């Protein structure tokens, strides 16, 4: 006989861990979490400064990449997704951004009723524990610990000061009332450890007797009878097993794997499914469509003083940092090193920020390749709301095969214009007096790269994903032919089945997606349990009073 549960959650990632915790709070609910990945124990995941390792390791990462991107010279871009307890929150950069208030009001305008900023703010406050944040806007006793860095390096202060000198505002809390401006970046780190969704939600909840976690489980499909999800079929150790859900199945498997599992289960574009010999349960054209991401460039500047992380880019220093972290959970190993940031607008007439900056006192790539020049610093910069849309589709009907991912990056002229603006605005910031004591030559793009054409060539060759894929199971009104789930995360056209993760975002949010993904899990849990949503907030976020006429 198959195992019987009330709820089955597919995926122990950012949203899945939050839901596992909330659904199992009631001891009468029997909850199963299925996760293909394994344990998150070990310093490569738990030490914040080691972040470039797990996202490049097949043991922790699904190893996805895009199809050759037609507007980027046929380059294939890496698409890391966490294959481990905690999902991508266990391999990400630990940057914590809620998104701008207007992002969620836009969701509501797009048909996700009940997901405006006034509705989601209470869930952000419920999930956070951040005593440093702006009073009245931030949570102080939630499971997700959020903190700021020590700003040990003077370059962190120089970045903020340069922004002010260039005429931009400062924000004391970009996750509070005012996102726009230069300020301190927040990270999901607690007592020197990566504070993933697994550490925050799943591990404490597993102490309850009514929550079960099965690792190494590859979900093959959702079992559907009479248009109702009744369980899942999964493979573990070469054996195919079935688990039955009395109440609901919830997919929380990422913006790549959630649409993949829906399509393998017969929910998706009918013509594609029929071509692969999959019986159509529900013809939903939006499954796998609407794929969005953030792209970014690394604008790198040489540093004339030997103060950057480059001095630690040797085995001896790394061993010392690792030992200090291992024994004391402090020092450079306890930070992701993204401690300053900014959100600004590309031009007058843009209502809220559409550029994000991560500042790093080092010239290095996400894959850990340091700039040959030695000491340097860099800003990761990119536009927040590209109009480009891609798709995820099955490459076969075999659950073990990787899906086909095409982002269709840079397919709009505006994308090129916005990226050129990003480069020029960054150069202006780096040219301010605050950087004068440190500023050497521009490493990348380099002083010779000035014309629109030269900048476009640089962008085409060097732009990288910020690893924020979302949108492939869009939430919207139930009569929207491209919506996959309704505003309560229920799959339209199939009973007893929901999706709750970054795939349901109608539009990508400002900044990193871990925070909004956890919030989706928190809010979805209330919908699943049939609880009244938390009362809406009446807080009014800050919008630049002269945004129509002023860029800064």
Catalytic residue set: 468
Check residue 249 and report its DSSP letter: E
17 annotated to bind ligand: yes
Rounded Cα distance, 483 and 540, in Å? 29
323 annotated to bind ligand: no
84 annotated to bind ligand: yes
Q: Specify the residue for token string 């995360």.
A: 489
29 annotated to bind ligand: yes
50 annotated to bind ligand: no
26 annotated to bind ligand: yes
Token reading at 520: 């989706």
16 annotated to bind ligand: yes
Rounded to an integer, what is the distance from CA 359 to the centroid of its chain?
A: 18
85 annotated to bind ligand: no
Rounded Cα distance, 498 and 495, in Å? 8
Residue ranges with strand state E in 346-487: 355-360, 376-383, 391-393, 404-406, 439-444, 464-465
397 annotated to bind ligand: no
- The Cα-based distances of 216 to 59, 213, 235 in angstroms read 12, 10, 8
22 annotated to bind ligand: yes
238 annotated to bind ligand: no
Cis-peptide, bond into residue 445, ω within 30° of zero: yes
Are 412 and 385 a contacting pair, CB within 8 Å?
no
404 annotated to bind ligand: no
353 annotated to bind ligand: no
Token reading at 208: 């309850």
| 3-class secondary-structure state, position 29 | coil
Are 60 and 37 a contacting pair, CB within 8 Å?
yes
9 annotated to bind ligand: yes
Q: Helix H segments across 283-435?
A: 315-328, 413-430
DSSP assignment of 273-305: HHHTTPPPSEE-TTTT-SBB--EEEEEEEEESS
175 annotated to bind ligand: no
Q: Helix H segments across 388-541?
A: 413-430, 452-462, 514-529
95 annotated to bind ligand: yes
34 annotated to bind ligand: yes
35 annotated to bind ligand: yes
355 annotated to bind ligand: no
Token reading at 81: 């997704």
| 3-class secondary-structure state, position 145 | strand
33 annotated to bind ligand: yes
31 annotated to bind ligand: yes
7 annotated to bind ligand: yes
| 3-class secondary-structure state, position 109 | helix
Are 34 and 215 a contacting pair, CB within 8 Å?
no
Are 443 and 301 a contacting pair, CB within 8 Å?
yes
Binding residues for FAD: 6-35, 84, 92-95, 219
Binding residues: 6-35, 84, 92-95, 219
């Amino acid at each position: 006989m198959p195992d019987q549960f009330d709820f089955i959650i597919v995926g122990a990632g950012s949203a899945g861990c939050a839901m596992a915790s909330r659904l199992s709070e009631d001891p009468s609910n029997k909850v199963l979490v299925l996760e293909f990945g394994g344990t998150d124990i070990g310093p490569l995941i738990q030490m914040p400064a080691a972040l470039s390792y797990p996202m490049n390791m097949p043991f922790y990462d699904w190893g996805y990449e895009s199809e050759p991107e037609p507007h980027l010279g046929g380059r294939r871009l890496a698409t890391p997704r966490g294959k481990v307890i905690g999902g991508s929150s266990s391999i990400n950069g630990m940057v914590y951004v809620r998104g701008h208030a207007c992002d969620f009001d836009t969701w509501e305008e797009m048909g996700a009723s009940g997901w405006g900023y006034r509705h989601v703010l209470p869930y952000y406050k419920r999930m956070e524990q951040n005593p440093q944040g702006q009073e009245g806007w931030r949570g102080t006793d939630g499971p997700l610990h959020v903190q700021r860095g020590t700003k040990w390096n003077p370059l962190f202060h120089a970045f903020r000061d340069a922004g002010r000198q260039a005429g931009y505002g400062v924000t004391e809390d970009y996750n509070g009332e005012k996102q726009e401006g230069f300020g301190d970046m927040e990270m999901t780190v607690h007592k020197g450890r990566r504070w993933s969704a697994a550490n925050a939600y799943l591990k404490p909840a597993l102490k309850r007797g009514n929550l079960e976690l099965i690792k190494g489980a590859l979900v093959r499909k959702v079992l559907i009878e009479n248009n109702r999800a009744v369980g899942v079929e999964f493979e573990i150790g070469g054996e195919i097993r079935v688990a039955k859900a009395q109440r609901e199945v919830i997919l929380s498997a990422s913006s790549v794997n959630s649409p993949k599992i829906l399509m393998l289960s017969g929910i998706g574009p009918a013509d594609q499914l029929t071509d692969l010999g999959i019986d159509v349960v529900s013809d939903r054209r939006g499954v796998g469509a609407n794929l969005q991401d953030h792209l970014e460039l690394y604008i790198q500047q040489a540093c004339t003083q030997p103060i950057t992380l480059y001095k630690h880019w040797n085995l001896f220093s790394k061993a010392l940092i690792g030992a200090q972290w291992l024994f004391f959970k402090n020092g450079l190993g306890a930070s992701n090193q993204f401690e300053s940031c900014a959100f600004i607008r590309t031009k007058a007439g843009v209502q809220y920020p559409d550029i994000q900056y991560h500042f790093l006192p080092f010239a290095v790539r996400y894959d850990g390749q340091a700039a040959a020049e030695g000491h340097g610093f860099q800003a990761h910069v990119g536009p927040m709301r590209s109009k480009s849309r891609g798709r995820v589709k099955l490459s076969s009907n075999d659950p073990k095969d990787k899906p086909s991912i095409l982002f269709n990056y840079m397919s709009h002229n505006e994308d090129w214009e916005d990226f050129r603006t990003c480069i020029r605005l960054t150069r202006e910031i780096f040219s301010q007096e605050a950087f004068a004591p440190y500023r050497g030559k521009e490493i990348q793009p380099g002083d010779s790269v000035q014309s629109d054409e030269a900048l476009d060539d640089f962008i085409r060759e060097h732009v990288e994903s910020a690893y924020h894929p979302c949108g492939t199971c869009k939430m919207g009104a139930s009569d929207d032919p491209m919506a996959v789930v309704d505003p309560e995360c229920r799959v339209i056209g199939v009973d007893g089945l929901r999706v709750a993760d970054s795939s349901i975002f109608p539009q990508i949010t400002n900044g990193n997606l871990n925070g909004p993904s956890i919030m989706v899990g928190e809010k979805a849990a209330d919908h699943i349990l049939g609880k009244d949503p938390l009362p809406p907030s009446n807080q009014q976020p800050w919008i630049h009073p002269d945004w129509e006429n002023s860029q800064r």
